[in-house]
């Protein structure tokens, strides 16, 4: 169907499990694991599984999670029950341990299984890259970039990206981490603050005290103290509301192209958070599915082994559009799949508009005012180029 065939000369693997998708953060919580089901269903209705190796993910083991997270955190995460939720009426002063149990990171039924499946998905993807069995490995269930060694943060409990990059580092001398989620990839950045074997780059909305997590300013490039080899290896691209496809793509290609020349990574870890799309419930940008996908296409064009992670994304129909389109880019079928959502797609009505590429007007009532001046974007590029003068391999 649609002439979708296996790409010649390279292998794409897709890592997922329907188990993960059955978990709920709570009725009105913005994070909906069900968006993964919607994504998989769109990928399948376009016939894309025929062009990939499809793996059902296992749960990561305690030892695997322990390669980054502390034992006391994991022990509490594995035993805490929804009844331990601190903010109940009977116990208003009950302490919040490891930031677990608040409204961002609630304790819900099956939480530990959900976390270990998300991590399993990303670890399986990393292992396929390390063994050269995949050239691109897709882990839409991962991408939970805020989790810290001993702390949950921003809907993230286990940092599957850090776990996956630690695997890549067994084989790869230099890993480039790229994060196009609308939020700053603080957990991944911090984990690799003291090494020059990982360069992290996050594009995000930046407005301290107004937008989560408030870190990731232009000048924050890794601690410069005591001959830290990781200094200059954290790149931040702070943006304002309403950035467009044209501006974002130009910025992305300039910055990632320059980093590729200077840093010479041997593998890429790409977090594809879909909350940078126009019309996202938590997002602020004016990106269309095509603009978001263009970043993936550019990364693929560098010809390096790559893991593609999920991440944020709070308007499920747009998350499914973006990640299905990006799956088609990975397998080289993006010019072949029709723009119209297949007639037989389950949940077809859920997409409201039957196209893969809604216009800005279809995505939101009123496009956001663009608060990114060309002058500011040039300043950002100049600063990043200056940082990269300290980096060479």
Cα separation, 122 vs 60, in Å, equals: 9
Interface positions, 244-273, toward ligand ZL4 (CB under 6 A) = 273
Interface positions, 271-310, toward Zn ion (CB under 5 A) = 273, 275
The answer to whether residue 179 forms part of the interface with Ca ion (CB under 5 A) is: yes
Tokens coding 249: 């793509």
Q: How many residues make contact with ligand ZL4 (CB under 6 A)?
A: 20
Cα separation, 91 vs 107, in Å, equals: 16
Task: Tell me which residue has its CB nearest to ligand ZL4.
Answer: 312
Q: Is 183 a catalytic residue?
A: no
The answer to whether residue 142 forms part of the interface with Zn ion (CB under 5 A) is: no
| Closest CB 103 distance from ligand ZL4, rounded Å | 4
Q: What is the DSSP letter of 373?
A: -
Binds ligand ZL4 (CB under 6 A): choice among 55, 140, 155, 252? 155
The answer to whether residue 28 forms part of the interface with ligand ZL4 (CB under 6 A) is: yes
Binds ligand ZL4 (CB under 6 A): choice among 101, 154, 222, 358? 154
Tokens coding 93: 């002063």
Cα separation, 149 vs 290, in Å, equals: 35
Binds ligand ZL4 (CB under 6 A): choice among 144, 259, 319, 333? 144
String marking each residue 160-189 x if it binds ligand ZL4 according to CB under 6 A: ---------------------x-x------
Binds ligand ZL4 (CB under 6 A): choice among 2, 6, 19, 30? 30
The answer to whether residue 103 forms part of the interface with ligand ZL4 (CB under 6 A) is: yes
The answer to whether residue 204 forms part of the interface with Ca ion (CB under 5 A) is: yes
Which residue, 184 or 233, is less far from ligand ZL4 as judged by CB?
A: 184
Q: How many residues make contact with Zn ion (CB under 5 A)?
A: 5
Cα separation, 271 vs 181, in Å, equals: 7
Catalytic residue among 184, 204, 232, 292: 184
Cα separation, 370 vs 246, in Å, equals: 12
Tell me how far CA of residue 285 lies from CA of 21, 167, 238, 331, in angstroms.
26, 33, 12, 27
Q: How many CA atoms lie within 13 A of 25 on its CB side?
A: 21
Q: Which are the contacts of 266, defined by CB distance < 8 A and separation ≥ 6?
A: 172, 173, 174, 175, 304, 305
Cα separation, 273 vs 180, in Å, equals: 6
Cα separation, 162 vs 147, in Å, equals: 9
The answer to whether residue 189 forms part of the interface with Ca ion (CB under 5 A) is: no
Binds Ca ion (CB under 5 A): choice among 151, 160, 181, 190? 181
Cα separation, 120 vs 380, in Å, equals: 36
Which residue, 174 or 183, is less far from ligand ZL4 as judged by CB?
A: 183
Helix ranges (H only) for 9-110 are 18-21, 35-45, 62-65, 71-79
Q: Is 327 helix (H, G, I), strand (E, B) or coil?
A: helix
Which residue, 96 or 302, is less far from ligand ZL4 as judged by CB?
A: 96
The answer to whether residue 206 forms part of the interface with ligand ZL4 (CB under 6 A) is: no
15 binds, among ligand ZL4, Ca ion, Zn ion, none (CB under 5 to 8 A by kind): none
Helix ranges (H only) for the chain are 18-21, 35-45, 62-65, 71-79, 111-130, 160-168, 186-191, 245-263, 289-301, 316-330, 360-363, 374-388
The answer to whether residue 181 forms part of the interface with Zn ion (CB under 5 A) is: yes
The answer to whether residue 186 forms part of the interface with Ca ion (CB under 5 A) is: no
Binds ligand ZL4 (CB under 6 A): choice among 151, 275, 280, 334? 275
179 binds, among Ca ion, ligand ZL4, Zn ion, none (CB under 5 to 8 A by kind): Ca ion
Instruction: List the catalytic residues.
Output: 184
Rule CB under 5 A: which residues touch Ca ion? Answer: 179, 181, 185, 202, 204
């Amino acid at each position: 169907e649609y002439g979708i065939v296996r790409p010649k000369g390279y292998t794409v693997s897709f890592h997922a499990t329907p188990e993960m998708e059955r978990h709920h953060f709570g009725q009105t919580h913005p994070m909906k694991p069900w968006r993964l089901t919607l994504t998989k269903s769109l990928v399948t209705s376009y016939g894309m599984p025929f062009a990939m190796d499809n793996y059902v993910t296992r749960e990561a083991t305690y030892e695997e999670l322990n390669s980054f997270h502390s034992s006391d955190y994991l022990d509490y995460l594995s035993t805490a029950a929804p009844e331990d939720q601190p903010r109940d009426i009977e116990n208003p002063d009950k302490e919040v341990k490891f930031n677990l149990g608040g409204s961002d990171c609630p304790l819900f039924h099956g939480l530990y299984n959900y976390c270990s499946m998300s991590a399993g998905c990303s670890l399986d993807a990393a292992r396929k890259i390390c063994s050269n069995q995949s050239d691109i490995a897709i882990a839409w269930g991962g991408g939970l970039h805020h989790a810290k060694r001993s702390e949950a943060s921003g809907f993230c409990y286990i940092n599957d990206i850090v776990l996956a990059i630690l695997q890549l580092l067994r084989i790869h001398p230099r890993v480039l981490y790229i994060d196009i989620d609308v939020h700053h990839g603080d957990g991944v950045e911090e984990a690799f603050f003291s090494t020059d074997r990982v360069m992290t780059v996050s594009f995000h909305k930046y407005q301290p005290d107004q937008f989560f997590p408030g870190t990731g300013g232009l000048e924050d490039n890794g601690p410069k103290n005591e001959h830290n080899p990781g200094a200059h290896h954290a790149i931040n691209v702070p943006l304002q509301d309403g950035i467009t496809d044209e501006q974002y793509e130009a910025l992305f290609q300039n910055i990632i192209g320059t980093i590729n020349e200077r840093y010479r990574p041997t593998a890429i870890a790409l977090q594809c958070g879909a909350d940078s799309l126009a019309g996202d419930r938590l997002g602020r940008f004016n990106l269309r599915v095509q603009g978001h996908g263009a970043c993936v296409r550019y990364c693929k064009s560098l010809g390096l082994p790559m893991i593609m992670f999920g991440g944020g994304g709070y308007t499920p129909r747009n998350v499914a559009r973006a990640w299905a389109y990006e799956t088609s880019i990975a397998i080289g079928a993006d010019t072949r799949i029709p723009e119209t959502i297949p007639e037989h797609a389950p949940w077809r009505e859920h997409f409201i508009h039957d196209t893969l590429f809604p216009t800005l007007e279809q995505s939101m009532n009123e496009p956001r005012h663009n608060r990114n001046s060309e002058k500011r974007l040039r300043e950002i590029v100049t600063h990043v180029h200056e940082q990269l003068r300290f980096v060479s391999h």
